[in-house]
Amino acid sequence: MLLTDLFLTFAKMGVMTFGGGYAMLPILQREVVEKKKWATEEELSDYFAVGQCTPGIIAVNTATFIGYKEAGMLGGILATLGVVFPSVVIITLIAAFLSNFAEIPAVQHALGGVNAAVVALIAASVIKLGKSTLKNTPSVLIYLCVLALAAAGSFLALPGLGGQVLDVVSSPVFLVLGAGCVGWIVFHRKGGEGE
C-alpha cells in the first residue's frame, strides 16, 4: 500500500511540475511535507543539497531519497519510476501526434503565465524553507555567502583568470562541499546543535 502510494504521489508530482527540479519544490512541500509527512523542510533541503552535487536530475534524486526513506530500496525505485511516468506518457503522445505543440499560440501564452506563477511559487517556497534552515547567525552567514557567490556566477561575466576562478567557486559542487566543511567546523564545536 505504501509502495503504491509512493508511486502515485510522485506520479502526481510529475504531472504538476513545470520546468526543472526547483519548480517542484512548492509541490514537494505541499504533498510530501504537509500532506504525507514523509519528510521535514530540513530533510528536503538536505536532499536538494545532495542532489546539486550528485549525478542526475534533482527531481529524480529527491524522489529516490524520499522513497528510500519511507520504504527502503524498492520504495526509492518506485517513487523514481512514479515521478518519470507521466513524462513518458505525455511526451510520447506529443511526439507521436502533436510535434508542433510548442508553437501553438495558446500553449505559448499559457506558458508565459505558468512561468510567472512558478517564480512566485519558488519565492514563497524559499521563504518557507528559510524559516526552518536559517535559524542562527552562522546559518544566515553561510546563506548570504553562498547566495552572493552563486548569483555572481550566474549574472557576472569576468574576463580571463578571474572568470575561471569565479566559475569554480560559484559551482554548486564547490559551494555545497564548502558549506559542508564550514558546517562541520562551526556546528561540531557547538556539539552538533546549532541553536
Partner 1 sequence: MTLLRLFLEFAKVGLFSVGGGLATIPFLKEMGENTGWFTNTDLTTMIAVSESTPGPMGVNMATYVGFEVQGIPGAVTATLGLIFPSVVVILIIAGFLQKFRQSATVNAVFQGLRPASTALITSAGLGVAVSVFLAVGGVAEHTFNLRWPQLALAAAIFLCMQHKQLKKLHPIVFIGLAALVGILFQF
**Shortest CB 164 distance to partner 1, Å:** 18
Q: State which residue, 20 or 162, has the beta carbon closest to partner 1.
A: 20
Site for partner 1 in 105-144 (CB under 8 A): 106-126, 129-130, 133-134, 139-140, 142-144
Three cell numbers written together for 50: 545532495
Query: Taking the complex as a whole, how short is the minimal distance between the CB of residue 6 and partner 1, in angstroms?
Result: 14
Query: Would you call 166 exposed, middle or buried from its count of C-beta atoms within 10 A (0-12, 13-18, 19+)?
Result: middle
Binding partner 1 by CB under 8 A: which of 38, 39, 80, 82?
Answer: 80
The one among 8, 156, 168, 181 contacting partner 1 by CB under 8 A: 181
All 3 cell numbers of residue 151?
Answer: 548569483
Task: Give the interface size with partner 1 as a residue count (CB under 8 A).
Answer: 109
Give the nearest distance from C-beta 62 to partner 1 in angstroms: 9
Sequence-ordered list of residues with C-beta below 8 angstroms from that of 7, at least 6 positions apart, any chain: 78, 79, 81, 82, 85
- Say whether residue 159 binds partner 1 (CB under 8 A): no
Contact present, 10 and 65 (Cβ < 8 Å): no
Angle, CA of 95, 100 and 102, to the nearest 5°: 95
Looking at residue 190, the DSSP 8-state letter turns out to be: T
Contact set for partner 1, span 6-65 (CB under 8 A):
14-27, 30, 42, 45-46, 48-61, 64-65
- Per rule CB under 8 A, is residue 82 in the interface with partner 1? no
169: contact with partner 1 by CB under 8 A: no
Decide: 122 and 26 in contact? Cβ < 8 Å. yes
Helix (H, G, I), strand (E, B) or coil at 100: coil
